[in-house]
Structure 1
Amino acid sequence: MSKAGHRLSLGPIPKPDAVKLTIALSAELKAQLDAYAQVHAGMHQAPVDAATLIPHMLAAFIARDRGFRVACRKATAPEPD
């Protein structure tokens, strides 16, 4: 996989401050995550595995989810008088 001209959505991985969560994935999704981790490691010259990437991928997904942000604002908006 070539580095030239390609960019991943996920940048360098910061040090974890985590709560453990156990999930089950399909074999196909696990293989894709492993492939993503391999490309990410090559692009950032830092070894990383799928388990380390998952929380950061989820955080990036949630941060870009406009519908979620709108729903959160509506849920925390004060009630009209």
Structure 2
Amino acid sequence: MAGIKLSKLPDRTPVKLSITITPDLKRALDEYAEFYRTVYGQEEPVVELVPHMLAAFLAGDREFARIRHGRPKSA
């Protein structure tokens, strides 16, 4: 529809993903959740933090972003 500034919203349907992790990684994630609580004063379960952690990791990987968006590597 012409004249609207806001583009169509992306699909926001949640997708469930099950993974198996090592005990060491589970401890580290629990420690991170505790660190988060200390910093922000709000407790969030690991399962709520992990999607945001993964998104931040992927957003911060410049090489992956370059490949994902089809831009050639500059020399």
- State if a TM-score over 0.5 links the two structures: yes
Match of 1:20 among 2, 12, 16: 16
- Equivalence for 1:51: 47
Q: Give the superposition deviation at 1:18.
A: 3.2
Normalised by the size of structure 1, how large is the TM-score?
0.66
RMSD of equivalent CA atoms: 1.8
Q: Deviations along 1:49-81, whole A, 9 cap, x unmatched?
A: 211111000000000010111102227x9xxxx
- Whether 1:70 aligns to 2:70 is no
List alignment gaps of at least 5 residues for structure 2.
Answer: 1-12
Normalised by the size of structure 2, how large is the TM-score?
0.71
How many residues align structurally?
Answer: 60
For CA contacts below 8 A with separation 6 or more, give which structure has more relative contact order: 1
- Whether 1:32 aligns to 2:28 is yes
Q: State, as a whole percentage, how many aligned pairs show the same letter.
A: 37
Q: Deviations along 1:28-61, whole A, 9 cap, x unmatched?
A: 0000000000010111111112111110000000
Segments ≥4 residues shifted beyond 4 Å:
none
List alignment gaps of at least 5 residues for structure 1.
Answer: 1-16
Taking the TM superposition and a 5 Å limit, the aligned residue runs for 1:2-17 are: none
